[in-house]
Amino acid sequence: MKFRCEREQLVEALGTAGRAVSSRGGSLPVLAGLRLELAGNQLTVTGSDLDLTISAQIEVAGDADGVAVIPSKLVADVVRAMEPGAVQVTVAEGDAEIAAGRSDFTLRTIPAEEFPQIAGAEGDAVTLDAEQFADALKQVVPAASSDDSRPILTGVLLAAEPAGLRLVATDSYRLAVRDLPGTTVLDEGQQVLVPSRALSELARLLSAGGAVTLRLGEREASFDVDGVVLTTRLIEGDFPNYRGLIPESHPNSLTINRSELLDAVRRVRLLAQESTPVRLSMSPDGLELIAMTQDVGQAHEALDAAYDGDELTVAFNPDYLLNGIDVSAGDEIRLETVDALKPAVLRTVGDDDFLYLLMPVRVS
């Protein structure tokens, strides 16, 4: 294998594919490497941890086709350290030679045949607007759990609803639901559970805009963004029935300016230490935020808000609350509550496409 290309291009391809490589070192040593495959002028760089696989394709000046697996971090560091300009890569007899200007590095390669073949997802390709999809991911993915002991909750549910595609995630403390009306990805009633880690990586790729092509298969899902293909194993199992969690009616409703609330919670949170909550005291006069940590101090802040309902104080984990306010769209948001122990709903006023359900903190 032999090719020449611009350093910047190669750095980007190695970096993108390298994000799928597990830093913790899996069971297969070959997975610490990136697989480079040259066919004509097409170079495909692939990294994988078996659950997540990312392939980046770039145009290079190809000289001799071939396949090689090179240690991921090392090759990325070496290429990044080169002088700007053209880089030449030559692989022969188990050595990869990387040369640029007067620099010349030789890296031992890993036998390429050990690299697992990752099948792409089958299924029909559906193309979505990258920006809109990225937006939806940003709202939903943070609500997924990072606790591997509850694998189901580490996934984001993609479900076909009559009105379009729905994304749902929960870590059992909060739940985020986002609808993409008019988007048809799956057959009606069909749903898949995609690991949130894969979707966080996807969100990074989507930041450039353009379009994303989805393929949702039985076991894998693939996302194709501008020459980069991200393939992920799907999580098997049944997602909790989140619909039953959303209260049907809310006696209390607070409407408030989103950025004012965001800033105020950020301030008050400074005094909500040692996992103490932030209290929201709601009355027709408005909203008062209270945080107090024993032996540390307390913070109060009053905010103008329209409140319809009984006077009520509810406490929330400030981080969960902030995240909900942060990812909600629009200028005005509405917090709907039942009582101090039941889930509260956060929505954007005049927009039913996003809902953030949040369990309170019980204060004794």
Contact call for residues 213 and 143 (beta carbons, < 8 A): no
295 φ/ψ sector (left φ>0, alpha ψ -120 to 50, else beta): left
- Give the type of residue at 165: L
**Considering beta carbons, is residue 45 or 268 the nearer one to other proteins?**
268
Residues in the chain: 364
DSSP secondary structure letters along 243-288? GGGS-S--SEEEEEEHHHHHHHHHHHGGG--TTPPEEEEEETTEEE
CB atoms within 10 A of CB 233: 18
Specify the DSSP element, H or E, that contains 131. Answer: helix 130-140
User: Residue 360 CB, nearest distance to other proteins (Å)?
Assistant: 6
User: Residue 7 CB, nearest distance to other proteins (Å)?
Assistant: 42
**150 Cβ partners below 8 Å, 6+ apart?**
172
**Considering beta carbons, is residue 151 or 286 the nearer one to other proteins?**
151
**Considering beta carbons, is residue 172 or 190 the nearer one to other proteins?**
172
User: Residue 145 CB, nearest distance to other proteins (Å)?
Assistant: 8
CB atoms within 10 A of CB 63: 15
User: Residue 269 CB, nearest distance to other proteins (Å)?
Assistant: 14
**Considering beta carbons, is residue 45 or 193 the nearer one to other proteins?**
193
**Considering beta carbons, is residue 31 or 153 the nearer one to other proteins?**
153
**Considering beta carbons, is residue 62 or 343 the nearer one to other proteins?**
343
User: Residue 364 CB, nearest distance to other proteins (Å)?
Assistant: 4
What residue ranges bind other proteins (CB under 8 A)?
146-147, 149-150, 152-153, 170-173, 175, 237-238, 240-241, 244-245, 274-277, 294, 315, 317, 339, 341-343, 359-364
Residue with tokens 């006023």, as numbered in its chain: 349
User: Residue 28 CB, nearest distance to other proteins (Å)?
Assistant: 21
User: Residue 74 CB, nearest distance to other proteins (Å)?
Assistant: 31
d(CA 195, CA 142): 12
**Considering beta carbons, is residue 181 or 297 the nearer one to other proteins?**
297
Q: Which residues of 285-301 are buried (b: 16+ CB within 10 A; e: fewer)?
A: eebbbbbbeeeeeebeb
What residues does 155 pair with on adjacent strands? 195
d(CA 364, CA 83): 62
User: Residue 363 CB, nearest distance to other proteins (Å)?
Assistant: 5
